[in-house]
Structure 1
Amino acid sequence: MTEESILQKIRGGLIVSCQALENEPLYGADIMARMAIAAESGGAVGIRANGANDIRQIKSVTTLPVIGILKRKCHGSDVYITPTLEDVEEVLRAGADIVAVDATQRPRPGGQLGSEFVALVKQRFPEVVVVADVSTYHEGVLAAQAGADVVASTLSGYTEYTFPLQEPDFPLIGALSESLSIPVVAEGRIRTPRQAAQCLRLGAWAVVVGSAITRPQEITQSFVESLHRCLQEQTAEGEQRV
C-alpha cells in the first residue's frame, strides 16, 4: 500500500491497539492475533501492535493496516516506544505498514531528541509512514517539521512534564488538528464511543483505542471500582439514617 492509500484507509475510523505485556494474562502473539480478528470483524480500520512476533501474527490473519511499535526500556532514557533505528527496522521487517516512534523531546539512547529521531527515520526509510507519538503541542509541531507523516497524542499525560490526565487530551487533539497540515491521530485514555466521536469532531484523522477494548483486566477493574464506590455510598447513607 502507498502512503496515501494507507492514510485514506484509516481516515475517520477506529484503530484498535492490540497489546499485552509479559506480565498480563493475554500476553502472546496468537492471542493478540485473535484480538485483531475480533477488531476487524467489529469494523476497525487498523491495528496498533507491539513487537515483531505480534505484528507477524496479526498481519497473517487480517487485511488491516498495522501500526507497529517496539516497546523497550533503554538504560539512561525514559523513551521506550521504538527507541532506536534498529527497532524501527525490526518492526518494518515484521511487516508493519506504519511505524510509530516516541517523538517527545526527551533524550533517546543515541542522544537525539524526538524531532531529530523522526528526521533520521525518514532519512533511512523515506517510503515508510511514520507516526510521531507526542505529549505536547510543541512536540507535535517539531515532529511535523521534521518530516513525520502523522502526529499522535499518545504520550500526553505520560511524560514527566505533562500533567497526569484522567480523560483524553481534547485540547491537544484540537490544537494539533487545527494547526498541522498532516493527519493527527487521537490516542490516550479514550474509553467511550462518545469520547472517540468527540476526537473526530475536534479534527482527528482517526482514533486509537486500546485498554478499553483489549485489556479485560482493566475493564473488569473499572466495573469493580464503580461497584465498590456504590457500596460505600450506600453504607454511608445507611449510617446517616441511624
Structure 2
Amino acid sequence: MNKKQQVFDRVKRELIVSCQALEEEPLHSPFIMGKMAYAAMLGGAKGIRANSVEDIKVIKETVDLPIIGIIKKDYEGSAVFITPTIEEIDQLYQVGVDIIAIDATNRVRPDGKTISEVFPIIRETYKDQLFMADCSTYEEAKEAYELGFDCLGTTLNGYTEYTKGSSLPNFELIERLVKDFPIPIIAEGGIWTPEQLKRIFDLGVHTAVVGTAITRPMEITKRFMNAIKPE
C-alpha cells in the first residue's frame, strides 16, 4: 500500500480536528496546541489540521495522527494567506506533514500568479507530497482536481469575497463535489454541531475537519453570548 493510500485510509469516515490559535488569541502557543491535539485524539479524532512549523513540531511529538499542515501568512497586495508561497510549502515539507493544504482559489497569489500557474511547479518539485486544495467554489475544486491535487476541501467557501454570505456548512457544494470527483472530498468550514457533521458524512465525504466548534473557546463563548445578548 502506498503512502497516499495509507494516509487517506486512516482518516476515511473519521473526524479531523483543526487545532489552531492565531497570534492575537489567548491560546496561541505550541504547547497549548499540542495539548489540544492530544485532547482531540483522546476524544476519538483520527487526524489533526495545524498551522505553523512550531505548532506542528509539538503536535507531532504529542500524537501519532496524520497531520494536515498549513502556514497562515499575510502578504501585502494578496488575499491569499493559507500556505501562499513556495517558501511556506517548503517549510511544511521539511517539518514532515502528511498533507499540505494550500489556497486553491482563483485569486492572484503574492507572487502575482494564479494556482493554475504555480501548482504544476509545486507538484513537480514535491513529487512524494500529498496536497489538499482549499477551495471556495465548485469551479475552483474542478480546476484543482484537473491540476492534480490529491484531495479537495471546501475550506474557503464563505471566506472569499465572491462567496461571502454562503450558508455554512455548504451541503449543496459538498454533495456536488462528492458526486463529481473521484478523489477524497474533505468537508471543512462552518461545521458547528454533531448533527451537521452526521449529515455531511451521509453525503459521502471521505472525511471532515471541525475546528472552531471544538478548539476555539473564545469563539464558542461568543456564540453563546449572542444567543442571550444579540447585537
Question: TM-score of the superposition, structure 2-length normalised?
Answer: 0.96
Larger Rg: 1
Matches within 5 A, 1:85-96: 85-96=86-97
3-state SS of the aligned residue for 2:118? Answer: helix
Give the alignment of 1:20-99 within 5 angstroms: 20-99=21-100
Letter in 1 for 2:84: P
Q: 1: CA distance between counterparts of 2:40 and 2:116?
A: 32
Partner of 2:224: 223
Q: Supply the distance in 1 between the matched residues of 2:27 and 2:202 (Cα, whole angstroms).
A: 33
Q: State the 4+ residue runs in structure 1 displaced beyond 6 angstroms.
A: none
Unaligned runs of 5+ in 2: none
Secondary structure of the residue that 1:86 maps to in structure 2? Answer: helix
**Which letter maps to 2:47?**
G
Cα distance, 1:164 vs structure 2: 2.0
The offset of 1:101, in angstroms, is 0.2
Structure 1: 5+ residue stretches without partners: 233-242
Q: How does 1:1-242 map to 2 (within 5 A)?
A: 2-228=3-229
Equivalences, count:
230
Q: CA deviation at 1:166?
A: 4.5
Q: Is the 8 A contact 1:102 1:134 kept in 2?
A: yes
* Contact 2:158–2:168 (8 Å) recurs in 1: no
Q: CA RMSD in A?
A: 1.3
Q: Confirm or deny: 8 A CA contact 2:186 2:205 kept in the other structure.
A: yes
Which whole-Å CA distance do the structure 2 matches of 1:54 and 1:178 have between them? 35
- Within 2, Cα distance between the matches of 1:65 and 1:102? 20
Shift of 1:167: 2.3
CA contact (8 A) 1:115 1:139 kept: no
Give the fraction of aligned pairs with identical amino acids, expressed as a percent: 44
Distance 2:167 2:138 in 1: 18
Residues 76-117 of structure 1: CA deviation (Å, up to 9, x unaligned)? 110000001110110121221110000000011122212333
CA contact (8 A) 2:19 2:36 kept: yes
1:178 CA displacement: 0.4
Looking at structure 2, the residues matched to 226 and 163 of structure 1 have their Cα atoms a distance apart, in angstroms, of 22
The code of the aligned residue for 2:152 comes to V
